[in-house]
Structure 1
Amino acid sequence: MAERRAFCRIEFNADARLTDASGRQWPARVRDLSLHGALLTQDNWQGENGSELILHITLEDGGVIRMEGHQRHHEDDDVGLECGHLDLNSATRLRRLVELNLGDEQLLHRQFEQLLGSI
């Protein structure tokens, strides 16, 4: 099966918190990130595909990435979140993380333009 991803994923290991539409929160662990979403690990996840979620990722420098989106998939302890909205500070932090990990500024700019076109 061919890979059809428009956004490169970077391996990323960080603590996070998921919040659902009712305000209920769960601890999670980020496994990878892209400009379009995140793959998380969360034990005993009960969410459903399409559920609106907010992901808060605490960075080592004390900064936070806040990603609003919806559950794209769930298998065992893996939860895929598709990004629907990032505030400017979060988008800037995420862009910088991806830039540092990709090592290809042109690829990053193409992906960032795709992200802006899809939101």
Structure 2
Amino acid sequence: MTEHRERRRFSRVNFSTPITLVQGDQQWQGKLLDISLKGVLVELPAAADYDPQASLTASIPLSDQASINMVVQPAHQEDHLLGVECISIDMDSIGHLRRLIELNLDDPTATERELTELIATL
């Protein structure tokens, strides 16, 4: 997984919370380990049998009223750790995600810089 970290352009923050991944009629409960503006790292149960070529829907509850919801594509898997790349996210979720990243980065201007870079790649 080291090579993925070396290529990373978006700052990741550790954020341990439950996450739900859905693909078709299958659903898995996992543990979110870290998050960035471009994707997440998830610890999945060993029995998670998903199609690595198909997208998944990820839901990350932040509170009773707020959650981050995105469509993700598997990028890499190592044992029970799955790295996924965000391919679609709604405006409310991007607002929550941006605020979460801002609150957890040491450099307050880094989030704005990364958001600008993310928009340029879309």
CA RMSD of aligned residues (A): 1.6
How far apart, CA to CA, are the structure 2 residues paired with 1:29 and 1:92? 22
Unaligned runs of at least 5 residues, structure 2:
none
2:74 matched residue in structure 1: 71
**Contact 1:66 1:90 survives alignment (8 Å):** yes
1:86 matched residue in structure 2: 89
Unaligned runs of at least 5 residues, structure 1:
none
1:49 matched residue in structure 2: 52
Normalised to the residue count of structure 2, the TM-score between the two structures is: 0.88
2:13 matched residue in structure 1: 10
Deviates further, 2-11 or 107-116: 2-11
Identity %: 33
The partner residue of 2:31 within 22, 29, 32 is: 29
Number of residues paired by the alignment?
A: 118
SS at match of 1:49: coil
Q: CA deviation at 1:8?
A: 0.4
Normalised to the residue count of structure 1, the TM-score between the two structures is: 0.91
